[in-house]
């Protein structure tokens, strides 16, 4: 299905890189490297240069930590979205927020996508997206409260739960007026899930793709990779790329990433093997 992400449309065979840009002092991977606004803008310039189609700007780390209320979150992201919009008129800007109040402000500043990592915790977020013609990412968290870690979570069937919840969320967004081609679903690896859950979601991602809704995966350097390989943050790129390849094979459309170039190469290689994408330049043996 053609994807419409705010001001940009993408054909149904396009895969997209969504680069993470943190406006946080405490995110797990970069530990505040782009907390300063100019550093964050440098990060945007870098990922655009690397070919990212989307930037995902977040003002609150996912894990528990110092409270950041809506006003503080707006302070962290809204004017920054405006700066990025001015500098990159055609770039798709996503904002990682679960709050409708924040969603409305950032859409006013030029955001195209609201990436709700917390599975509809704020029921008004769909309305914020609809009011502004923004796209919406509908994730599965198993009903987790924002910024909580999973603790002894169980599912009868984690993939069935992810499909049921994300599709229900997508249909709620549709009913609220978000365009069908602007709704994306995301199983949300590690959110409300232990490592075995995230591995199963990865292994069975094709079942989510089969729903017909475009699927976003956020795998980058997460704990399910770290626990699978017993590696700390900073040493998880290879594992992340292996998981990326499995999701590409299944037909994921959007990849939320820290490392744009290696992920783009992984996805392109898988798509080329599968015949979805032509080799860039083929002459070996064909001279």
DSSP state letter for 55 = E
Closer Cβ to other proteins, 145 or 287, answer by number: 287
Q: How many CB atoms sit inside 10 A of residue 75's CB?
A: 14
Q: Rule CB under 8 A: is residue 152 a binding residue for other proteins? A: no
Q: Rule CB under 8 A: is residue 286 a binding residue for other proteins? A: yes
Dihedral sign, CA of 108, 92, 120, 170? positive
Q: Exposed, middle or buried: residue 211 (CB in 10 Å: 0-12, 13-18, 19+)?
A: middle
Q: Rule CB under 8 A: is residue 13 a binding residue for other proteins? A: no
Applying CB under 8 A, the span of 170-178, 192-200, 201-209, 273-281 interacting with other proteins comes to 273-281
Helix (H) or strand (E) holding 137: strand 135-139
C-beta of 271: minimal distance to other proteins in Å?
11
Q: Rule CB under 8 A: is residue 287 a binding residue for other proteins? A: yes
Applying CB under 8 A, the span of 50-58, 154-162, 175-183, 275-283 interacting with other proteins comes to 275-283
18 near 54, Cβ under 8 Å?
yes
Closer Cβ to other proteins, 50 or 268, answer by number: 268
Closer Cβ to other proteins, 31 or 277, answer by number: 277
Q: Rule CB under 8 A: is residue 123 a binding residue for other proteins? A: no
Nearest to 140 by CA among 224, 198, 203: 198
In the block, residue with structure tokens 């006013």: 108
Q: What residues pair up with 227 in beta bridges, in sequence order? A: none
Closer Cβ to other proteins, 10 or 118, answer by number: 10
Closer Cβ to other proteins, 64 or 279, answer by number: 279
Binding residues among 252-271 for other proteins as defined by CB under 8 A: none
In sequence order, which residues have a C-beta less than 8 Å from that of residue 42 and are 6 or more positions away?
Answer: 34
Applying CB under 8 A, the span of 27-35, 171-179, 191-199, 277-285 interacting with other proteins comes to 277-285
- Counting residues that bind other proteins (by CB under 8 A) gives 10
In sequence order, which residues have a C-beta less than 8 Å from that of residue 245 and are 6 or more positions away?
Answer: 266, 267, 269, 270
Q: How many CB atoms sit inside 10 A of residue 173's CB?
A: 27
Q: Rule CB under 8 A: is residue 281 a binding residue for other proteins? A: yes
Applying CB under 8 A, the span of 8-16, 107-115, 220-228, 276-284 interacting with other proteins comes to 276-284
Q: Rule CB under 8 A: is residue 275 a binding residue for other proteins? A: no
Q: Exposed, middle or buried: residue 259 (CB in 10 Å: 0-12, 13-18, 19+)?
A: buried
Applying CB under 8 A, the span of 157-165, 181-189, 234-242, 274-282 interacting with other proteins comes to 274-282
Report helix, strand or coil for 159.
helix
Query: Interface residues with other proteins (CB under 8 A)?
Result: 277-283, 285-287
């Amino acid at each position: 299905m053609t994807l419409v992400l705010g001001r940009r449309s993408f054909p149904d065979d396009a895969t997209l890189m969504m680069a993470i840009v943190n406006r946080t002092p405490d995110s797990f991977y970069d530990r505040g490297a782009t907390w300063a606004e100019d550093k964050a803008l440098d990060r945007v310039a870098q990922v655009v240069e690397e070919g990212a189609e989307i930037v995902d700007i977040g003002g609150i780390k996912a894990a528990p930590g110092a409270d950041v209320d809506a006003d503080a979150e707006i302070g962290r992201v809204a004017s920054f979205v405006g700066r990025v919009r001015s500098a990159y008129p055609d770039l798709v800007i996503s904002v990682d927020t679960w709050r409708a109040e924040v969603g409305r402000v950032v859409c006013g500043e030029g955001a195209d996508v609201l990436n709700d990592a917390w599975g509809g915790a704020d029921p008004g977020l769909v309305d914020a997206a609809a009011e502004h013609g923004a796209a919406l990412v509908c994730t599965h968290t198993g009903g987790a409260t924002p910024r909580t870690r999973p603790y002894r979570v169980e599912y009868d069937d984690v993939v069935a739960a992810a499909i049921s919840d994300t599709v229900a969320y997508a249909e709620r967004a549709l009913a609220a007026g978000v365009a069908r081609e602007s709704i994306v679903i995301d199983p949300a690896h590690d959110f409300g899930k232990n490592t075995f859950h995230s591995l199963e979601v990865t292994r069975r991602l094709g079942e989510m793709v089969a729903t017909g809704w475009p699927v976003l995966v956020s795998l980058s350097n997460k704990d399910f990779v770290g626990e699978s390989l017993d590696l700390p943050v900073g040493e998880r790129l290879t594992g992340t790329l292996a998981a990326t390849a499995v999701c590409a094979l299944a037909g994921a459309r959007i990849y939320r990433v820290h490392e744009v170039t290696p992920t783009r190469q992984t996805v392109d290689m898988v798509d080329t093997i599968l015949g979805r994408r032509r080799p860039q330049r083929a002459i070996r043996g064909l001279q």
